[in-house]
Amino acid sequence: MTKLVRRHKAILGVLLFLSAVLWVGISGFHQGLLAGTDKTYEELKVFSDVLDIIEKNYVDPVDSKNLIRGAIRGMISSIDPHSAFLLPEAYKDLQIETTGHFSGIGIVITMQDKIITVISPIEGTPAYKAGIKAGDQIIKVDGEETKTLMLWEAVKKMRGKKGTSVVITIRRKGLSELIDFTIVRDIIPLESVRSHLLKPDYGYIRITNFRENTADDVKRALRKLEAGKTPLKGLILDLRDNPGGLLDQAIKVADIFLDKGRIVSIKGRLKTHSKGYAAHRDKDKHPHPMVLLINEGSASASEIVAGALQDHGRALVLGTTSFGKGSVQTVEPLRDGSGLKLTIARYYTPKGEAIQARGIVPDVLVEERYVSGSEGKKHPHMKEKDLKNHILPEPKKGLSDEMKEKILEIRGVKVPGEKASDEVKRLLTEDNQVRRALDILTSWQIFSKMSH
């Protein structure tokens, strides 16, 4: 009995420590742990009593470690949809996603109303090619219902060896029946940046997410686009369906196009979690007019870039209102190899506008449609404000190659020295937002000449 009492005192001590950790600076600031209040201590004693009763009386033997971890998960999940307790395996996977490579299907998911929901498919991945859409609810994975799975457990089931397949059962808004997608896993590409010349002197850069080398990749893409005999007359920066990623990369990308001024501010309850990030003058100049594309799938780091360039008048923002994830998370490694992902602050644009649950409102509203010779179909999305506990403030077949060639001929689009690539053809014939952005940039040049 004495041994059991000592054991529960030890457990209670661990719980008090974890409670204190929640109130400290997460980004490397580990000093001055705050003592729990009397009320917190009393509640933890109740927790210890419950744990003791379960261990003594439950019909089957239980593992106290699993009970405590389950309690921690429940505690964190009650705060907001972006905070989480990551078991060692899940914490390791999180590190791999931003620094290494992995094999899977390529989607970004969240938990909405206890249902695993797609924020956005990563462009070019198996899930994207299969037709998985933002807002799709994942009901089953290989026939197993997901309602009892934690987020990281669902991720683990969808990952696997390259070349193997997984069946994802989807519930999609507007459809009465579930849809099965058989998806063959592949290596998820680390390249987050692609670029094209849409027509002579008009560039296009697409950022699919913000990884370790995204800013350097953007610089390389710009050098390639600007290497022509004549300067670029305009640039389209495409951040649609970009779910975000690393904060420092978003800041560096915005800094590429700004010479001075605030890029973003983060403000938390603690002074150590509040900071402003400013632009720096760079020897490389990119003075060409810009149109930046966003939609409901543009979140977090994407919204930081869009908000900074919009507030400074550096880019015209076109599309639909972004996702609205304006909160800052940081991950603290714990002693057993697990991790604590915790929301510590909110993002604010240079003009002091809060992004959280509001998003970036475009300067020019253009609904996204899949154009295929008819009206097309609006792309469904979910937003931050649709998530439970959020912090308060089917496309049709494309055109034939022959029809694409005719449209390109009518529009006079030719890439210097080569035939337009399939991707450029698709953007200019089927993507109404890209076409609108290009029309604006072209008109920009015409009116600039007229004013002189």
Q: Which residues are catalytic?
A: 300, 311, 325
Q: Give me 30's structure tokens.
A: 């580990």
- Residue 332, Cβ neighbours under 10 Å: how many? 19
Choose among 311, 258, 253: nearest CA to 281.
258
Question: Distance (Å, rounded) from C-alpha 398 to C-alpha 383?
Answer: 27
Looking from the CA of 418 toward its CB, the CA atoms found within 13 Å total 8
DSSP-assigned letter for residue 37: P
Q: Give me 283's structure tokens.
A: 């020897």
Backbone φ and ψ of 174, nearest 5°: 95, -10
Which helix (H) or strand (E) covers residue 118, if one does? strand 115-121
Question: Distance (Å, rounded) from C-alpha 49 to C-alpha 373?
Answer: 67
Q: Which amino acid is at 161?
A: K
Which helix (H) or strand (E) covers residue 264, if one does? strand 262-268
Question: Distance (Å, rounded) from C-alpha 105 to C-alpha 233?
Answer: 38
Choose among 253, 316, 240: nearest CA to 279.
253
Question: Distance (Å, rounded) from C-alpha 172 to C-alpha 102?
Answer: 27
Q: Give me 303's structure tokens.
A: 């919204």
Question: Distance (Å, rounded) from C-alpha 297 to C-alpha 11?
Answer: 42
Per-residue CA distances from 334 to 150, 180, 227 (Å): 19, 38, 48
